[in-house]
Structure 1
Amino acid sequence: MLKKVKDYDFTLMITPVVLAAFGIIMIYSASMVLAVEQEHESTFYLVRQSQWFVLAVAVFILTSAIPYRYYQRLTKMIMILVLILLAAVLIFGITINNAKSWFDFGPLSLQPAEFAKLGLIIYLASVYSKKQAYINEFNRGVLPPLILIAIITGLVIQQPDIGTAVIILLIAGSMMFSSGIRFKHLSILIMVGLILVAAAIPSMATDERISRFAGAYQPFEDPGDDGYHLVQSYLAIGNGGLTGEGLGQSVQKLGYLLEPHTDFIMALIAEELGFIGVVIVLGLLAAIVLRGLFIARKCTDTFGALLAIGISSMVGFQAFINLGSISGILPITGIPLPFVSYGGSSLLVMMASMGILNNIAKSVRRNEQAPAPGNEKEDEKQYSNKGGRTWQRENRSIRF
């Protein structure tokens, strides 16, 4: 039993749980005033997130124990379920903040787009691992998955959830690049994507989205309206200084900083815990991303390597977009900070992803501890999977 525990990656076992537990503390601090106004109970969001935390940890333990290759066998089923959920939410979903993105189940609500990200990662890892022999051929190796990527992105945009759609495209792009496709093909896809975005801008340029761009890049031109959110974020960050005002001592959460427990939770962390608190959170997030990429590099299985790259890029891109929004680098998109922001669907998907990544890490560690090549029988006995196949290094063109 102890030997099995040692096979796991302790960075990936501890860091996500610490971040999520820290997130519960900050969510309570950020939301207590808002919760009293909305629900007449200061612990409303604390209780909700704590319930999701317990469920997410259980899912994390479960996915850590399931061999990651099982997901490759379930790829078609996973993608069919993702497409059904994304289509169904447009019909039966509820609208929150002008986006029809949630299913309402009484005390719980689920956001299918969050699950679509992990489903797409599994799909792309499976497809591109099988196409390594002809990955340089555009029609056979590159084009087929693009159709499904376009469908998923289109359904998410219809909600509309532009931020999540951008993350989906970034994840897909990073996995396609890592799969070894030619730079020529990648360049063509980028150019086509830019042309499509340019063509879609007139139809997507609503007054609300235009105001978000104006608020992001000229916040002080209209600090009472378009630039209000970002100006309040700047005030929160500036007030924190090096060590912060102290846990629970934020002023901006008293009705000034909107959504302090979700989109702008890092601004609240900066105000209460200062630059030091921000650096610690960023360091933990960076540790997860870098550890994931390291595992991908060490993994001898193409599916596992691409899966690790996709999960790492999801965490990295989501953190970057969230931090970009609160700092004025990017328009406000409503993307939560991984593990820390309030939201059950996001936390559930992130912890499930960490469990999968941990299982890949366990496989890598067992491969490194495998007997010398000369003892084939012992190697097959100890390190074969349930299908009787030993782990073999594949011929692949994975990029890092």
Structure 2
Amino acid sequence: MVVKILKNMDFSILFAVLALSAFGTVMVYSASMVSGVMVYDVTPEYFFKKQLFSWALGLVALFAGIIIPYKNYRKLFKLILLVTVILLILVFVIGQTSNNAQSWITLPLIGQFQPAEVAKMALIIYLAAIYTKKKSYIEDFTRGLLPPIIITMAIVAMIFKQPDLGTAVIALAVSGLIIMSSGLKRTHLFFMISLAVITSFVLYNFGLSEEQLSRFDGAYQPFQYADDSGYQLINSYLAIHNGGLIGTGLGAGVQKLGYLPEAHTDFIMAVIAEELGFIGVAVVLGLLALIVLRGFVVSMHSHDNFGRLLCIGVAGLIGIQAIINLGGLTGLIPLTGVPLPFVSFGGTSLLMMMFSAGILINVHAVSRIRKVQQEQQAA
């Protein structure tokens, strides 16, 4: 079966993932080699070596996602959800604080990782499995639709409480995409949209901290808060402006030299824009778009509802996270601190993104194998 899967892979997704992740590793080195010494008091190669190790693990995760039959996740979705909840609880017990968020834990043999990144994929698997199971009575709101929504909101609330607003928003948006694709009634869809609008209003007015609210000022009035919440965005603008069409050259960017905070994580696209120009940005966006669009195409050709919802969730996750990251560094939305998929520094994020891409490839391969088998039987 493994040989058949490898022969029937979607090589366009595989190429895009490998190209983006390898390129991202190089850009992490370019973006962090100076700030590593000046800001973090480590060697110039520190973040590059960590990302290179994460990329190697990511290749293993990608291969695992490709060869493990995706239907196994449907059988294990309860266990996956339970482990995820335990990990999120552990964050509040033994979690480590970084950038004012208690989001990291360290476990034996595994090391340091971010459970919220795992939770996004776990929610996709859970919702795809549970709504496939409830497909025959999905129009029954209290019996079919509501219980998974309550569980989803509880997990999102745990992520938000860390606090990790960016990851919570992504998890909620991807969950909403899967729910809307599950076959619910139009009246229920209208109710869900209304609930999301009301929740956003209440959250903005009563649920955000002063620091989180200041990000709105930084996004929409950056020059009035140039020494505070607008500082990052202004330097992001300068990096994008400096790059022009072809950029200043790989490694020759200026804004990463202490002017642009978190250059190797949230703002790595600004570094790409400065050093490789519009052309470099276009290539990265093109590869991300290819993965997302191919993911939705694979979902349409999946022969079962679980595979369809799984692909919608994964493609939505990659697309939504990319939009939020890019929206933050261009001032379209407030900064949320989420990494650019496959490119930004971050071991857990890279690992989960490559694993999720492997799932897309597996669904495509299994669907293609089944189609060939059906054609052979019909002949």
Compute the TM-score of the two structures, normalised by the length of structure 1. 0.91
**Pick aligned residue for 1:366 from 335, 344, 369:** 369
8 Å Cα contact 2:217-2:230 kept in structure 1? yes
Alignment partner of 1:6 is 2:7: yes
Go from structure 1 to structure 2 and tell me whether the alpha carbon gap of 1:21 and 1:334 turns closer, same or farther (over 3 Å shift): same
Q: Which residue of 2 aligns with 1:92?
A: 94
Q: Distance in 2 between matches of 1:215 and 1:315?
A: 25
8 Å Cα contact 2:4-2:369 kept in structure 1? no
Q: Which residue of 1 aligns with 2:60?
A: 58
**Pick aligned residue for 1:310 from 308, 313, 333:** 313
Per the alignment, in what secondary structure is the counterpart of residue 19 of structure 1?
Answer: helix
Q: Which residue of 1 aligns with 2:295?
A: 292
Alignment partner of 1:123 is 2:126: yes
Q: Which residue of 2 aligns with 1:81?
A: 83
Q: Distance in 1 between matches of 2:85 and 2:187?
A: 30
**Pick aligned residue for 2:148 from 120, 145, 150:** 145
- 1:104 CA drift (Å): 3.4
Per the alignment, in what secondary structure is the counterpart of residue 109 of structure 1?
Answer: strand
Q: Which residue of 2 aligns with 1:210?
A: 213
Q: Distance in 1 between matches of 2:272 and 2:211?
A: 27
Q: Distance in 1 between matches of 2:302 and 2:215?
A: 42
Q: Distance in 2 between matches of 1:68 and 1:78?
A: 13
Per the alignment, in what secondary structure is the counterpart of residue 287 of structure 1?
Answer: helix
Alignment partner of 1:104 is 2:118: no
Larger-gyration structure (1/2):
1
Taking the TM superposition and a 5 Å limit, the aligned residue runs for 1:282-361 are 282-361=285-364
Q: Distance in 2 between matches of 1:371 and 1:100?
A: 51
The runs of 5 or more residues in structure 1 that have no matched partner are 377-400
Q: Which residue of 1 aligns with 2:284?
A: 281
Number of corresponding residues = 376
Q: Which residue of 1 aligns with 2:50?
A: 48
Per the alignment, in what secondary structure is the counterpart of residue 39 of structure 1?
Answer: coil
Q: Which residue of 2 aligns with 1:257?
A: 260
Per the alignment, in what secondary structure is the counterpart of residue 163 of structure 2?
Answer: coil
**Pick aligned residue for 1:170 from 146, 168, 173:** 173
Q: Distance in 2 between matches of 1:3 and 1:100?
A: 43
Per-residue Cα deviation, 1:253-308 (whole angstroms, up to 9, x for no partner): 01000000000000000000000000000000000000000000001110001000
The runs of 5 or more residues in structure 2 that have no matched partner are none
Q: Distance in 1 between matches of 2:121 and 2:152?
A: 13
**Pick aligned residue for 1:196 from 196, 199, 203:** 199
Go from structure 1 to structure 2 and tell me whether the alpha carbon gap of 1:15 and 1:138 turns closer, same or farther (over 3 Å shift): same
Q: Which residue of 2 aligns with 1:226?
A: 229
Q: Which residue of 1 aligns with 2:71?
A: 69
Q: Distance in 2 between matches of 1:372 and 1:358?
A: 21
Write the letter of the residue equivalent to 1:78. Answer: I
Q: Distance in 1 between matches of 2:6 and 2:80?
A: 29
**Pick aligned residue for 1:154 from 143, 152, 157:** 157
Go from structure 1 to structure 2 and tell me whether the alpha carbon gap of 1:279 and 1:188 turns closer, same or farther (over 3 Å shift): same
Per-residue Cα deviation, 1:138-158 (whole angstroms, up to 9, x for no partner): 112211101111110110011
Write the letter of the residue equivalent to 2:161. Answer: Q
- 1:373 CA drift (Å): 7.2
Q: Distance in 2 between matches of 1:205 and 1:117?
A: 21
Per the alignment, in what secondary structure is the counterpart of residue 103 of structure 2?
Answer: strand
Per-residue Cα deviation, 1:314-357 (whole angstroms, up to 9, x for no partner): 00000000000000000000010000000000000001101111
Q: Distance in 1 between matches of 2:366 and 2:93?
A: 41
CA RMSD of aligned residues (A): 1.6
Compute the TM-score of the two structures, normalised by the length of structure 2. 0.96
Per-residue Cα deviation, 1:376-400 (whole angstroms, up to 9, x for no partner): 9xxxxxxxxxxxxxxxxxxxxxxxx
**Percent identity between the aligned chains?**
47
Q: Distance in 1 between matches of 2:375 and 2:8?
A: 18
Q: Distance in 2 between matches of 1:5 and 1:199?
A: 49
Q: Distance in 2 between matches of 1:31 and 1:242?
A: 23
Q: Distance in 2 between matches of 1:183 and 1:371?
A: 35
317-326 vs 103-112, which moves further:
103-112
Q: Distance in 1 between matches of 2:107 and 2:305?
A: 38
Per the alignment, in what secondary structure is the counterpart of residue 321 of structure 1?
Answer: helix
